[in-house]
Amino acid sequence: MTQPDTTRQSTNLLDNVTIVLKSPKYAENIGAAARCALNMGITRIIVVSDTRPDREAMLRTATHNAAHIIDAIEYFQDLSEALGPFSGVVGTTARRGRQRVTLQDPKELAERIMPLLSENSVALLFGPEDRGLTNDDLKFCSHITTIPTDAFSSLNLAQAVAILCYELRMGVLTAQQGNKVFFSPKRAASHETEGMYEHLEKALLKIGFLKKKDHTYWMYNIRKFLSRIGLRSREVRIIRGVCKELLRKDSHENHGRTRK
């Protein structure tokens, strides 16, 4: 009996994974990250930066095997625009804090992400080498992960990329060797949910649920709650419709009071 080609299957699933590098400081790190991603079957990279990194410097660490990935890098200046098409965004951070609740290590993360890959595109988001992702960056993330370390608080960018890509690849291979079937419905893209959060924040401020003093903190938690649900496009449109109606009604009532 012919055994299934699990390598080909995992590659197809991993085609839905993209590495997104925000403001990388060193072109050589981009090249090394591209090489690591290719080794694990992930071939798409996005760089979010105001400047274009030096191609030759990237190629030195990517080696000739990953040169085609370097030449295919997509460049954006705005993180929101870069993440817009993705249904799932994984943020990586080494720091913990009030708004940095980390629920998964890379292996746990892979188990959560794998079911999404059959129908959804997922971005693995990495921040600058010296300071990582900010809270404003992490607001786009449906999942947040940290890589446990010992002596140092953070890893080299390429090392972090390699670890996350490895866990995803091994998770997919292991599951498929056990004939596990992946299924997750198509979720709303980031540009859809961001529009929803904008409307939701305006509506909650209008009705007084959010206070200006701490509304950022509460919106962060609302984002985390709704991202765990995994909203579909239709559900996002429903929530936006409710918010629009609340804002319209409030505007109408204020206009009526002004005329009186």
User: Tens digit of pLDDT per residue, the chain (260 long)?
Assistant: 444 444 444 448 899 999 999 999 999 999 999 999 999 999 999 999 999 999 999 999 999 999 999 999 999 999 999 999 999 999 988 755 544 455 588 988 888 888 888 889 999 999 998 888 998 999 899 899 988 777 666 678 999 999 999 999 998 888 777 666 666 788 999 999 999 999 999 999 888 888 777 778 888 889 888 988 889 999 999 999 999 888 887 665 554 555 55
Give the Cα separation of 21 and 48 in Å (integer): 6
pLDDT at 252 (0 to 100): 56
pLDDT at 221 (0 to 100): 85
Per DSSP, 104 falls in state: B
pLDDT at 146 (0 to 100): 86
At 140, give phi and psi (nearest 5°): -80, -10
With 0-12 / 13-18 / 19 or more C-beta atoms within 10 angstroms meaning exposed / middle / buried, residue 30 is buried
CATH of 6-177, one of 3.40.50.2000, 3.40.1280.10, 2.130.10.10, 3.30.420.40: 3.40.1280.10
Q: Structural domain boundaries of the chain?
A: 6-177, 190-259
> How many other C-beta atoms lie within 10 A of the C-beta of residue 215?
15
Give the Cα separation of 74 and 45 in Å (integer): 7
| CB neighbour list of residue 195: distance below 8 Å, 6 or more residues apart | 236, 240
Domain 190-259 has CATH 1.25.40.10: no
Give the Cα separation of 197 and 149 in Å (integer): 34
